[in-house]
Structure 1
Amino acid sequence: MTGTRRDNRVREFRKQMRITQAELGAQVGVSRQSIVSTEKGDYAPSVYLALRLARALGTTVEDLFPLTEEDPA
């Protein structure tokens, strides 16, 4: 997804869990900066990271990364 900004709900779910970006990164095995980039929509995580994020945040990949009308099939 280089160059494409993606909306997601990672920050929203992380805030609900009351954990920091660093704590979430440690839980899923990435740096705090990777969490920052993911939350901003500057980085599209791999399927495996998306699954780990969803599990850590107590939700589904679909809830964290909803598809929009503009998303290619």
Structure 2
Amino acid sequence: MGAERELHNRIALLRAERHVTRRQLADALGVHYQTVGYLERGEYSPSLYLALRIAEYFEVPVEVVFSTTPFPRIGERSA
């Protein structure tokens, strides 16, 4: 997958903030727990349906979870 098609996400950060394991998230979404790992590492891009379900699970807009550009590092200010 080329850089222009890379999908960035905050799944691991959201899981950590909410003390949710990969298995708990996977069970809630109806996917294998390894799928959550693939998503977090950017090795797999979710379908639109799965992306929306993940955002719904965390009760945030999908743009908070996924982006086509890298998210700023924690503590960095965006211009």
Q: Which TM-score bucket, shorter chain as reference?
A: 0.7 to 0.9
Please identify, of 26-35 and 56-65, the stretch whose mean Cα deviation from structure 2 is larger.
56-65
Question: What is the rounded CA distance, in whole Å, between the counterparts of 2:17 and 2:61 in structure 1?
Answer: 15
Question: What is the rounded CA distance, in whole Å, between the counterparts of 1:36 and 1:51 in structure 2?
Answer: 17
Residue in 2 aligned with 1:52? 53
The one-letter code matched in structure 2 to 1:34 is: T
- Structure 2 CA distance for partners of 1:8 and 1:62, relative to 1, 3 Å: same
Q: What stretches of structure 1 of length at least 5 have no aligned partner?
A: none
Structure with max Cα Rg: 2
Percent sequence identity over matched residues? 34
Q: How many residues align?
A: 67
Q: What stretches of structure 2 of length at least 5 have no aligned partner?
A: 71-79
TM, length-normalised to structure 2: 0.76
Q: Which structure is higher in strand share? A: 2
